Amino acid sequence: MLPYGRQSISEDDIQAVVDVLRGDWLTTGPLVSAFEAKLGEITGGHRAVTATSGTAALHMAYAAAGISSGDVVISTPMTFIATTSTASMLGARIVFADVEEDTALIDPDAVDALIDERTRVIAAVDYAGHPADYDRLSDTASRVGALVLDDAAHSIGSTYKGRPVGDLADLTTLSFFPTKNLTTGEGGALVAKDPQLAQRAYEFHNIGLVRDAARFQVPGEGAWHQEVHEFGVNYRLTDIACALGLSQLSRLDAFKRRRAEITRRYDDALADVDGVRTPIQREDVDAMRHLYPVRILDGRRREVFDRMRELGVGVQVNYMPVYWHPVYADAGYRRGMCPNAEAFYSEELSLPIHPELTDSQVDQVVDALTEALH
Ligand SMILES: Cc1ncc(COP(=O)(O)O)c(C=O)c1O
């Protein structure tokens, strides 16, 4: 089966990991700092804090934002559930804003209509690698003093109005799961523009430990001392993973080029195929395409999905609207709330895209899709 996404691991990547295993540090050593510094560099020059997953990074972001019971987070239903579940776990009430009909990104007009004084965070998702409209979301957020969060699990390497992902929102979270734009196995990171938010996220991911003597509340202890002011968790990424991440980062441009070539090949091959709508890209965006989500028209998505799987093409569906998950449905969220997201879900099919997919494999996918449609 051709997978819809997979990692690309080079001999240099392997060597980088092997070198760590021969060294002194397995975790929280120099490669964590080096990876974070490099991540910060390519995401707008802000502080990056690594984490054990994209989900962990989202949890850190909401904890750093001080989300607690009763706070409102406005988000998109067209995402993986971690975008909102990590806020729900802290007691937030999620208000789902519908998506734009064409991009499936959170609709700034919908956010504008829903925002109120209780809103603490607007959490956008750069679905498929395409950044949301952050200028408009930031304007809306500033009306009530809310923060903007960019769940950039799909979009490291993308730009919006010439600015890189990481520089588009107050808080940005990344995922380094193997299918993502770069991988550390499991892994993720948070990027924060405000150094205080970054520090809060850092302490939350490190059990809440405070090591800055100027802030100590327990006086008179020795050089060993550290103390906790707020509870935290252990979401620290290892040196082993960061060695892989650092090596992968040096390949990010090449990954982006290959993803762009595959996108063009699909765009060209599918332009005139009846019953399929190909994804669009806004003019002010340069997307590192994580997914290639087509829309299968005329109610045929299920049938086309099954047929393509039979033909050996590992298509995927991204995503069932988040509030359809029983954990939200049981809490009273009703179907029909975000019609554009539901319509998109009913037609969406993700075709394989990853840096090692060859041109002939792309053609094989196109042939399988054409056959499935006839
Ligand atoms: C949009 C989105 N947000 C968050 C996550 C969570 O990332 P991770 O799998 O690294 O926890 C994912 C990963 O699937 C995702 O696609």
Q: What pLDDT is attached to residue 318?
A: 98
Q: What pLDDT is attached to residue 60?
A: 98
Question: HEC profile for 92-114?
Answer: CEEEECCECCCCCCECHHHHHHH
Strands (E), the chain: 47-51, 72-75, 93-96, 119-125, 147-151, 159-160, 163-164, 171-175, 188-192, 209-210, 227-228, 276-277, 285-286, 292-296, 348-351
Which residue, by CA, sits nearest to atom 7 of ligand 1? 54
Mutate-to-test residue for ligand 1 from 4, 175, 317, highest number of ligand atoms within 8 A of CB: 175
Ligand 1 centre distance from Cα of residue 200 (Å):
22
Q: What pLDDT is attached to residue 212?
A: 95
Q: Which CATH number describes the domain made up of 11-249?
A: 3.40.640.10
Fill in the amino acid letter for 340. Answer: N
User: So where are the chain's domains?
Assistant: 11-249, 252-373
Q: What is the pLDDT of residues 193-218, one digit of tens each?
A: 999 999 999 999 999 999 999 999 99
Decide if 144 contacts 240 (C-beta within 8 A).
no
Q: What pLDDT is attached to residue 46?
A: 98
Of 148, 142, 130, 187, the C-alpha closest to 61 is: 148
pLDDT by position in tens, the chain (length 374): 999 999 999 999 999 999 999 999 999 999 999 999 999 999 999 999 999 999 999 999 999 999 999 999 999 999 999 999 999 999 999 999 999 999 999 999 999 999 999 999 999 999 999 999 999 999 999 999 999 999 999 999 999 999 999 999 999 999 999 999 999 999 999 999 999 999 999 999 999 999 999 999 999 999 999 999 999 999 999 999 999 999 999 999 999 999 999 999 999 999 999 999 999 999 999 999 999 999 999 999 999 999 999 999 999 999 999 999 999 999 999 999 999 999 999 999 999 999 999 999 999 999 999 999 99
* C-alpha–C-alpha distance, residues 184 and 237, integer Å: 9
Can you give the pTM of this predicted structure?
A: 0.98
Q: What pLDDT is attached to residue 97?
A: 98
Q: What pLDDT is attached to residue 77?
A: 98
Q: Which CATH number describes the domain made up of 252-373?
A: 3.90.1150.10
Ligand 1 centre distance from Cα of residue 331 (Å):
23
